Amino acid sequence: IHEDTGSLTYAGTTARDARCLAWLLEPKHGVNLSVVSHFLNHPLTDTQRAIFDQLVDQSEFLAINGHTVVIAQAAAPDFQDEVSALASRLRNFHETDAIFLVIDLGDMVQMVARSTIDEIDVGVIARALGGGGHNRAAAAPIHGKTTQAIHDRIVVLLNQNVRSAVTVHDIMSTGRPQTLRPDLTIDEAYARMQRWGHEGFPVVEAGDDGETLLGVLTRREADRAVNHGLGSAPVRRFMRAGTVMVHPDDSIALLRKTMIETSWGQIPVVDENDRIIGIVTRTDLIKLWDDISLPKPTATHVAAKLLQTLTPSQYALLELVGRQVDRMHYTVYIVGGFVRDLLMDGEGVRVPGLDMDIVIEGDAIELAHTMQSLYGGRVVPHKRFRTAKWLLHDDEKPLALDALQADLKLELAPSDLPSHLDFVTARTEFYTAPTVLPTVERGSIKLDLHRRDFTINTLALCLNPGRWAELLDFYGGLNDLAQGTIRVLHSLSFVDDSTRMLRAVRYEQRFGFHIAPRTLELLHDALDLVDRISPARVRHEFERILQEAQPEQAILRLDELGVLAQIHPAFVADGWIAAKFAQLRAIYASSPGGDAAPPSVIVDALRREPIERLYWGILSYRQPAAVDAQLVERLGLRGETQRLVDALERLRMRLPQLATPDLRPSQIVAHLDDVAPAALALGYLLCDDSVIEKRLAAYLSQWQGVKPLVNGKDLAALGIVRGPIYSRILGAIRAARLDGDVTSRVQEEALALQIAAQSSGADEIT
């Protein structure tokens, strides 16, 4: 244990190692530490030294996926001591990422391996050779093979199993970073720092040959200048001068060394022509060392999931977009919910085809017009937000299907394609006040992802051919996805956009996740901002909640967290609402039947309405009339939904009269004629009164359609003068027919003449 864990100091040491040592040190087990000490850090014997020298002389250095690996061979047919001590010494001697000793002991070949990084799991390789061990220390006794054959096999296994080394490219923010001119004032630079939240900006000067990097201005220098009243001074005076830069393929070790030597926390990343193409920060480096982060799925694995999820035409269409963007020297990504659901697929999460945001580090509107010029369709641009919708099914501007099929290398029908693709320019944003819509500016993919609501929605997949299906995870989204955690990206997230509270709960309940403790604290701290959200945005978020499989779970949680009360003090949810939601869903899901099922007329009336609209009715049902009107206004309910809520309120106010014993059918009909059928059917579910339920069902199934046999022409033929009396007569005849007092046309005509005579004598009859 001491040897394999470096006396519990190696990064691969586990709690199990420590517990095992503690168990061995108990007196009853009689461990002799002097013996342990004899074998640890003991000077090499002459025989060991001779073998060690052989290993040094026959060490072969290999570069495997960006890592340095040494395979060392030796022959020691009479060697009887422990070989593992030589492995650790040789690894320390070469300072390599991993080392493999292949020693011919005469009757067998002993392979011993050590690794210092997670990307090289020597246990996997040892097991493939017939041995065992763990990821940092392993061994294999091998019979019947030469050292050269074993060497060759190790090389093959390394190429198959070693994960690529992380480079600057893997952690940098790509795209043109925010920069400062040297003649900009400190006050202007400070305002940009406050707006964007960056800790430093590269300072560049434009010239005939392009831009030249002059240095970097950090928040610390800007703070000091402002505090000394030097806000009008130029940036050049306070910047850290120098041309410190790195390249995308540079190692993390070089980046770390550069940061330590220069004290720069923000270093520009340049291409082969020294053109700035991104930036890498100290925070990026720290996140790389976060031990709790999970290894990313490989691009091959993600590409396979895309193939499995999308149709061939959808997959080929994304490849086509990637190729076109590559020709434009841009970079393109799928971002957000599609990627989240793709990685969760297999856990009951459905990936909705090509309903996705396609984010371009470049110009999305230019890309959309380019695709249109090549393949037809119509483009709908939105210049303010730098987005564009490419419509693939437009009667006025149809697709050039032949050209598209040729480049997709597929035969397809228009129905194989999505209705549209959404192209979005990578952008960053800032909020001028809490809960208002943001101001946006063009930015990098990293900045674009940083403006998103939760870490699980910050995952991105690259579509460029050279990086196809490469996964970006700047903010720990993979780890939170694996842990089932809803987490905001920064402490002002709910202040910037309080509707994120509703989305946090929606995701929490949809996926069975939990809101992170700190995120929950931030939510509670920002509750008083909810009343600033516009009715339209509140309604939009609730409509999305009501589209969930079990929306009552999210609504109950919002009530528990105090969000509903902030929308309106009387807005509450309880078990009754949850039960009614579930009952309504059951009606939509199955055919009516059984003693407990509502009559078919109720079921039919309900199913004619969108279930989300009926959910609104349930939520508003038990509110007093005045509060109901306030809720309708606060939630921004409009159109058919508002009319349903109003009709349901009229019905609820009449329930006491409808419960009166011995009501005649005509009296019941008088209360219900001005209430929409959907409201009556929903009232059946909500009233919890068997008498009223029967009367509502009877109205919809029998009484609603009852009409007199006579009409206005018949009344005129009877000599009754036209006028308001017609309405009274026909109403009275309908009531009499409902109550069974008249059953024939003759009886209706007699009743009409009687009413006319009683109304104003012979004047009504000619």
**Residues 587, 598 contacting (CB under 8 angstroms):** yes
Q: Are 306 and 315 in contact (CB under 8 A)?
A: yes
Check residue 77 and report its DSSP letter. Answer: T
Of the segments 258-267, 278-287, 683-692, which one has the largest average pLDDT value? 683-692
For the stretch 497-534, pLDDT in tens is: 999 999 999 999 999 999 999 999 999 999 999 999 99
Dihedral sign of CA atoms 412, 418, 419, 424 in order: negative
Query: What single letter denotes the amino acid at residue 710?
Result: V
* Ordered domains of the chain (ranges, CATH): 2-39 (no CATH), 46-161 (3.10.310.30), 168-288 (3.10.580.10), 299-483 (3.30.460.10), 505-660+672-703 (1.10.3090.10), 712-764 (no CATH)
Could you give the 3-state DSSP secondary structure of residue 646?
helix
DSSP type of residue 206? E
Identify the pLDDT of residue 425: 92
Q: Is the pLDDT of residue 218 over 80?
A: yes
Please say whether the beta carbons of 444 and 278 come within 8 A.
Answer: yes
Q: What angle (nearest 5°) sits at the alpha carbon of residue 356, between those of residues 376 and 381?
A: 45
Task: State the pLDDT at residue 294.
Answer: 57
Q: Under 8 Å CB-to-CB from 331, ≥6 apart: which residues? A: 174, 175, 325, 360, 361, 362, 445, 462, 464, 467
| % of the chain surpassing 90 pLDDT | 49
Q: 140 pLDDT exceeds 70?
A: yes
Confidence of residue 591 (pLDDT cuts 50, 70, 90): low
Mean pLDDT of 150-160: 93
- 548: burial class by Cβ within 10 Å (0-12, 13-18, 19+)? middle
Average pLDDT over residues 628-646: 89
DSSP string, 595-631: TTSPPHHHHHHHHTS-HHHHHHHHHHTTS-HHHHHHH
Are β-strands 173-174 and 276-281 bridged in parallel, bridged antiparallel, or unpaired? Answer: antiparallel
Q: Is the pLDDT of residue 292 over 50?
A: no
Between 737 and 47, the more confident residue is: 737
The answer to whether the beta carbons of residues 677 and 613 sit under 8 Å apart is no
For residue 593, pLDDT beyond 60 = no
Top pLDDT among 17 and 9 is at 17
Which tokens go with 166?
């992380």
Say which residues have a Cβ less than 8 Å from residue 224's Cβ, sequence separation at least 6. Answer: 238
What Cα–Cα distance (Å) separates residue 258 from each residue in 68, 166, 532? 20, 16, 47
Running DSSP on this structure, what letter comes out for residue 163? P
Q: Is the pLDDT of residue 595 over 60?
A: no
Distance from C-alpha of 401 to C-alpha of 313, rounded to nearest angstrom: 12
Q: CA angle 85-89-91, nearest 5°?
A: 120
Q: What is the mean pLDDT of the chain?
A: 87
Among 207-211, 292-296, 690-694, which range has the highest average pLDDT?
A: 690-694
Query: 714 near 749, Cβ under 8 Å?
Result: yes
pLDDT band at 33 (very low <50, low <70, confident <90, very high): confident
Q: For a pLDDT cut of 70, what percent of the chain falls above it?
A: 92
Residue 349 has pLDDT above 60, yes or no: no
SS3 label, residue 683: helix
| 70, pLDDT greater than 70 | yes
For residue 556, the model assigns a pLDDT of 96
Whether 465 shows a pLDDT value over 60: the answer reads yes
**Rounded distance between C-alpha atoms, residue 652 and residue 637, angstroms:** 19
pLDDT value at position 410? 85
Cα(337)–Cα(344) distance, rounded to whole angstroms?
Answer: 10
CB 473 within 8 A of CB 343: no
> Which stretches of 24-160 are assigned E, i.e. beta strand?
59-64, 67-75, 98-104, 109-115, 132-133, 137-142
pLDDT for the residue numbered 762: 46
Total count of residues recorded for the chain: 766
Q: Where are the beta strands (DSSP E) in 76-199?
A: 98-104, 109-115, 132-133, 137-142, 173-174
Question: What would the DSSP string read from start to end of 415-439?
Answer: GGS-SEEEEEE-EEEE-SSTTSPPE
Task: Report the distance separating Cα 765 and Cα 361, nearest Å.
Answer: 84
15-19, 63-67, 239-243, 700-704 — which one is most confidently predicted on average?
A: 700-704
Structure tokens at 140: 């294999």
Q: How far apart are CA 231 and CA 189, in angstroms?
A: 9
| β-bridge partners, 211 | 206
Residue type for position 193: M
Mean pLDDT of 655-680: 94
Q: Report yes or no: 459 and 294 within 8 Å, Cβ to Cβ.
A: no
- Tokens coding 257: 């060394």
CA dist 665 and 762 (Å) reads 32
pLDDT for the residue 345: 67
Beta-bridge mates of residue 257: none
**For position 169, what pLDDT does the model report?**
84
As a whole number of angstroms, the distance between CA 751 and CA 766 comes to: 17
Average pLDDT estimate for 181-208: 85
37 or 690: which leads in pLDDT: 690
Neighbours of 104 (CB within 10 A): 18
Average pLDDT over residues 249-271: 86
- How is residue 526 annotated by DSSP? T
Between 448 and 703, whose confidence is greater? Answer: 703
Which stretches within 517-664 are classed as H helix?
517-525, 535-546, 551-561, 563-567, 575-589, 600-607, 611-620, 625-634, 639-658
Q: What is the mean pLDDT of residues 7-11?
A: 70
Give the burial class of 489: count Cβ atoms within 10 A of its Cβ; 0-12 exposed, 13-18 middle, 19 or more buried.
buried
User: Which comes out higher in pLDDT, residue 487 or 405?
Assistant: 487
Q: Would you place residue 291 in the very low, low, confident or very high pLDDT band (cuts 50, 70, 90)?
A: very low
pLDDT of residue 517: 95
Q: Residue type for 310, please? A: L
pLDDT tens digits, one per residue of 74-118: 998 877 777 777 887 888 888 888 999 999 988 899 999 999 887
Q: What is the pLDDT of residues 365-392, one digit of tens each?
A: 999 999 999 999 999 999 888 899 999 9
Give the C-alpha separation, 176 to 279, whole Å. Answer: 8
At residue 348, the pLDDT reads 44
Residue among 549, 545, 683 at smallest CA distance from 617: 683
Q: Which residues contact 27 (CB under 8 A, 6 or more apart)?
A: none
In sign, the C-alpha dihedral spanning 326, 330, 331, 333 is negative
